[in-house]
Amino acid sequence: MDSHAEASVELGAITRNIAALRAHVAPAALMAVVKANGYGHGAVPAARAAAAGGADWLGVVHVAEALELRAGGLQEPILCLMAVPEHGHAEAIAARVDLSAGSTDMVARLAAAAEQAGRPARVHLKADTGLSRGGATLADWPAVLAAAREAQDAGRITVVGLWSHFASADEPGNPSIAGQLAAFKEALAVAESAGITPRVRHIANTAAALDVPAARYDLVRVGGGSYGLATLPGGPPAWLRPAMTLRARLSLVKRVPAGTGVSYGHRYTTTRETTLGLVPLGYADGIPRAASGLPLVSARGRRWPIAGTVCMDQIVVDFGDEPVGAGDEVVLFGPGDDGEPTAQEWGEALGTISYEIVTGISARVPRSHHE
């Protein structure tokens, strides 16, 4: 580690996770979702590692993310999962990037962008089967299909996929899962009757890919699972490995007497003479302020509590009588090999999910990538 802190990414873990997931969902194809800078892991390196593991597709949210992958040499099919009117659709179409549409307006926009790009747009039509987020409701779905059929007959778009997204696939047995599967089946039947025959049908996210075989269809979209994470109860299966480790070096160590107030608001006070260590990471780096007081730092083979309030740029750790020194390494989360916390544990301790933890690590924390 050359700097005061780093988020170290084990690319081989991503590659092996993808290979294992691909075997798990076979014969369905697999899309590795590398949106949000590859869930904080680095979009292009993560995409290359996923491709090495056999990912058939890559998924992003924004056109700019797709173009970054193309500029990085990735040639796999790429789908932009969110339909945003202001995106540079013509540039995406020219770069052979697939786009999503969940309304007649977006179908029209993509058809117009295709004329500008000089080639048909590759489009995935999205049905809202119960998440009530993106996509067409089942009431609006026939009109979207009709618009797409008209644009396809005119040579402006090619309907490559039909898709949807689960609301609660990470809650095994939730009745909405079966309800959305039924709604998706209905949406597919309506599309077929409208003369739309897609190359791929997809609804499964990581949780459904792992836990709901009926949801796999032709393609599954694996986001967190690519990086060894999952939102299922208890986290990911043991055969997925977390790829990111967040570590730092102590920038200052000092002994203080009993009764010393620590950090903003003195929400922590030492109960005896003790050693405090300063970790140069704070909430501007993605350490949630709510982590104040929790034993989420690992050093010298054990866990230590964050002493008092998480600051913008630093946290304080109470090491008791442990003989730590400036420059010693601490680990905030990793794969758990040496007993360090995992992103899953951070999420559980803070009442959120591991995805928020890893995507929240800010750009000012250097990334290092290794096999």
Task: Measure the CA–CA gap between 51 and 59, rounded to whole angstroms.
Answer: 12
Supply 177's token pair: 């899962």
Task: Measure the CA–CA gap between 136 and 165, rounded to whole angstroms.
Answer: 12
Task: Measure the CA–CA gap between 290 and 125, rounded to whole angstroms.
Answer: 40
> Strand (E) positions, 239-287?
244-249, 252-256, 261-262, 268-269, 274-279
227 is catalytic: no
Which residues, 6 or more positions from 231, have their beta carbon under 8 angstroms from its beta carbon? 170, 206, 207, 224, 353, 354, 355
Cβ neighbourhood burial of 208 (10 Å; 0-12, 13-18, 19+): buried
CB 235 within 8 A of CB 229: yes
**Of the residues 35, 227, 268, 355, which is catalytic?**
35
Please tell me whether residue 333 adopts helix, strand or coil conformation: strand
Task: Measure the CA–CA gap between 239 and 220, rounded to whole angstroms.
Answer: 18
283 is catalytic: no
Side-chain-facing half-sphere of 148: CA atoms under 13 Å = 31
In this structure, which long-range contacts are made by residues 108-114, counting pairs with CB atoms below 8 Å and at least 24 apart in sequence? 108/147, 108/151, 109/85, 110/151, 110/156, 110/157, 111/151, 111/154, 111/156, 111/157, 113/89, 114/90, 114/156, 114/157
Supply 180's token pair: 């959305």
Residue 24 backbone dihedrals phi, psi, to 5 degrees: -65, -35
Hey, how many other C-beta atoms are within 10 angstroms of the C-beta on 234? 8
Report the DSSP pairing between strands 5-10 and 244-249. antiparallel
Supply 264's token pair: 């903003």
* Residue 289 DSSP class: G
**Of the residues 39, 264, 283, 355, which is catalytic?**
264
Tell me which residues are annotated as active site.
Answer: 35, 264
